[in-house]
């Protein structure tokens, strides 16, 4: 007798343990979940190393460097070669090879901002990009007194001690020189409060010392 279309073949279902089959299926699903999770973790742990965007810099390429230090600044290579900056704002060309040695030998000076490398590719090649986020330019140091107080506060709270000292020296010189930009005593007091310095007294002490 032909079987009806929707008729179930009872004989083929005999002997099947559905509880065991379900349990086996659950185990397989759990194993798949674990495999997926492991693959996800492996993917997260892969370090994506981007290709360098900086072309190789020739060792003899001249790089402009500016001193951000008020006074004489000596930069020294590993071979003992001395490159001297006589005053704040002095600019000198230095070969990239010498600059590599200077940054290796005088790492603190490079990272604190005693001098600034005026070449973005060189800064990146010397691994100073992060350090330079805390360093401001010569122009900012010279004109910080003209900035809004909110911007001044932001700069002073995020820059290095070397840059702070340079800003202090710039303000003291401006006060003693009678520069009209430094007639705003409230702003000078505001800057002094952030730095924890009495800038007016410091300026007076410098003036007295120079007279002697």
Residuewise pLDDT in 10s, the chain (212 residues): 555 444 444 444 455 566 676 777 778 788 877 777 776 665 554 444 344 444 589 999 999 999 999 999 999 999 999 999 999 999 999 999 999 999 999 999 999 999 999 999 999 999 999 999 999 999 999 999 999 999 999 999 999 999 999 999 999 999 999 999 999 999 999 999 999 999 999 999 988 777 65
Instruction: Pick the last residue of a domain from 101, 134, 167.
Output: 134
Residues 170 and 197 in one domain: yes
Considering the domain boundaries, does residue 165 fall inside one?
Answer: yes
- Assess if residue 94 is contained within a domain: yes
User: Is this prediction's pTM over 0.75?
Assistant: no
- Domain membership of residue 91 (yes or no) is yes
Q: Please check whether residues 99 and 74 belong to one and the same domain.
A: yes
In a domain, 199, yes or no: yes
Is there a domain that residue 33 lies in?
A: no
pLDDT number for residue 90:
98
pLDDT for 16 equals: 55
Residue 144 lies in a domain: yes
In a domain, 75, yes or no: yes
Say whether both 112 and 163 belong to one domain.
no
Q: Which domain holds residue 185?
A: 138-211
Q: What is the pLDDT of residue 22?
A: 72
Domain count, the chain: 2
Per-residue model confidence (pLDDT) at position 14: 52
Using the 3D structure, point to which of 134, 156, 189 is the last residue of a domain.
Answer: 134
Task: Report the pLDDT value the prediction gives residue 62, as an integer from 0 to 100.
Answer: 97
User: Contact at 8 Å (CB) between 73 and 115?
Assistant: yes
Q: Are residues 148 and 110 in the same domain?
A: no
- According to the model, what pLDDT value does residue 135 have? 97
| 117 and 155 together in one domain | no
- Among residues 95, 118, 134, the one where a domain terminates is 134
């Amino acid at each position: 007798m032909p079987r009806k279309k929707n008729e179930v073949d009872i004989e083929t279902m005999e002997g099947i343990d559905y509880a065991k089959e379900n349990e086996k299926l659950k185990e397989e699903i759990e194993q798949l979940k674990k495999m997926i999770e492991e693959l996800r973790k492996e993917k997260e742990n892969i370090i994506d190393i981007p290709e360098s965007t900086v072309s190789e810099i020739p060792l003899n390429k001249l790089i402009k460097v500016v001193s951000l230090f008020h006074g004489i600044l000596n930069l020294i290579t590993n071979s003992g070669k001395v490159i001297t900056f006589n005053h704040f704002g002095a600019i000198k060309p230095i070969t990239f090879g010498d600059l590599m040695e200077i940054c290796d030998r005088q790492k603190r000076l490079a990272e604190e901002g005693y001098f600034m490398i005026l070449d973005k590719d060189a800064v990146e090649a010397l691994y100073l990009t992060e350090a330079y986020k805390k360093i401001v330019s010569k122009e900012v140091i010279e004109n910080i007194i003209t900035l809004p107080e909110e911007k001044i506060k932001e700069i002073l709270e995020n820059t290095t001690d070397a840059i702070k000292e340079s800003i202090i020296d710039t303000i003291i010189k401006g006060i003693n020189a009678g520069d009209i930009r430094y007639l705003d005593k409230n702003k000078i007091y505001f800057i002094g409060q952030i730095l924890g310095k009495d800038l007016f007294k410091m300026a007076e002490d410098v003036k007295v010392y120079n007279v002697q």
